[in-house]
Structure 1
Amino acid sequence: MGGNSPCASCKLLRRRCTKDCIFAPYFQPDDPQKFAIVHKVFGASNVSKMLHELPVHQRADAVSSLVYEANARMRDPVYGCVGAISYLQDRVSELQMQLAVAQAEILCIQMQQEPTGLPMTAMQMEPGDDKSSLLLSRTSSSSFNNNSLCPQYLSFASSSSEVQDPLKRESLWT
């Protein structure tokens, strides 16, 4: 930068900002916290080395990634971004299980509403019916027992969603 105001890194490190400062294009003086977090987690020397090793067109993305990882490391010093990803994957799994339970309940209700207790065939389906009905239509009616199927699926789904991994750690994102 070299002009009036030093970049955020030079300001924090209390050094003179030169026109060829590697940090100046990525750490603007109006956002000093951005460099402070990256410096605290990775160190200015390491960040400088990383940026020098990269082609100029990739540096902005690298700085963005470093800032993101540094913020994640401040929240979770051990796992960083991986902790956030792991938490989100666990959450997706929980939501998929809840969706499966809800779909099973819908199927049971639909089966109970049928006069014969047998699933609808594709010919009986209305154009507005959802995929749950299509799943019912593909099920063999001879092997389908309405009274015993629904409770089994629902009890399995509800009991498996209650099981928790004893090694699962608490996350700061909950």
Structure 2
Amino acid sequence: MSLESLARGRTHQPCAACRMLRRRCDSSCILAPYFPCDEIDKFAKVHKVFGASNVIKMIQMVEERNREDAVKALVYEATARIRDPVYGSTGAICQLQKMVQELKMQLESTKARMLELQQQKDQFLGILLNVGHLDLLSPINGSNFSLGYDDSMAYDPIKFPAECDSWIIN
């Protein structure tokens, strides 16, 4: 055995699958590219739900170019199965679909409310334009009709509570 091959053998760490299964990980390990040594929890979930031999069989059944996606799907399904053993990822999908339906209903309601407010705004603007044509804001009986600040409505915040003491019922 050459010195180079010995050095490679010593520096090669077993993949997460081989480490967990306590077996020798060689260069032909089908699980090594998808479960690196630092992601042992990812393989642990997949192993717990599907079993190592089934995972290997499923990966072998898939074309090599699609294997990475297949492993991601297995990890997702295993994580979902551990979280929800009955429904798995189907439960998560149904929950998300329910949320989408609720958000669609909320969006429709908001659109309807927005349309209603737009119509009210248009009506209000129409009233204001008609009022301008009728000259209702002109002086009435020789007095000045003002929409501004009226001093007679003002009150002194210091005197106000004292003036209202007779109104307060104990």
TM-score of the two chains, using structure 2 as the length reference: 0.63
Report the CA distance shift for 1:115/1:58 in structure 2 as closer, same or farther (over 3 A).
closer
1:95 aligns with one of 90, 100, 103: 103
Cα deviation code 1:129-170 (max 9, x no counterpart): xxxxxxxxxxxxxxxxxxxxxxxxxxxxxxxxxxxxxxxxxx
Report the CA distance shift for 1:117/1:44 in structure 2 as closer, same or farther (over 3 A).
same
Provide the residue aligned with 2:112 in structure 1.
104
Using the TM superposition, give the Cα deviation of residue 19 of structure 1 relative to its aligned residue in structure 2, in angstroms: 2.0
Q: Give the share of equivalent positions with the same residue, in percent.
A: 54
1:72 aligns with one of 80, 98, 118: 80
Give aligned pairs, total.
Answer: 118
Cα deviation code 1:92-140 (max 9, x no counterpart): 111111111111112222222333899xxxxxxxxxxxxxxxxxxxxxx
8 A contact 1:111–1:117 mirrored in 2: no
Alignment gaps of 5+ in structure 2:
1-7, 127-170
- In the aligned structure 2, how far is the partner of 1:2 from the partner of 1:18? 9
Alignment gaps of 5+ in structure 1:
119-174
Amino acid at match of 1:80: G
Report the CA distance shift for 1:92/1:2 in structure 2 as closer, same or farther (over 3 A).
farther
Provide the residue aligned with 1:142 in structure 2.
none
Amino acid at match of 1:52: Q
TM-score of the two chains, using structure 1 as the length reference: 0.62
Cα deviation code 1:31-76 (max 9, x no counterpart): 1101000000110010011112222222111111111111111111
Report the CA distance shift for 1:32/1:116 in structure 2 as closer, same or farther (over 3 A).
closer
**Structure 1: which 4+ aligned runs deviate by more than 2 Å?**
1-4, 112-118
Q: Does 1:59 align with 2:73?
A: no
Report the CA distance shift for 1:106/1:7 in structure 2 as closer, same or farther (over 3 A).
same
8 A contact 1:2–1:19 mirrored in 2: no
1:26-37 map, 5 Å: 26-37=34-45
- In the aligned structure 2, how far is the partner of 1:85 from the partner of 1:110? 37
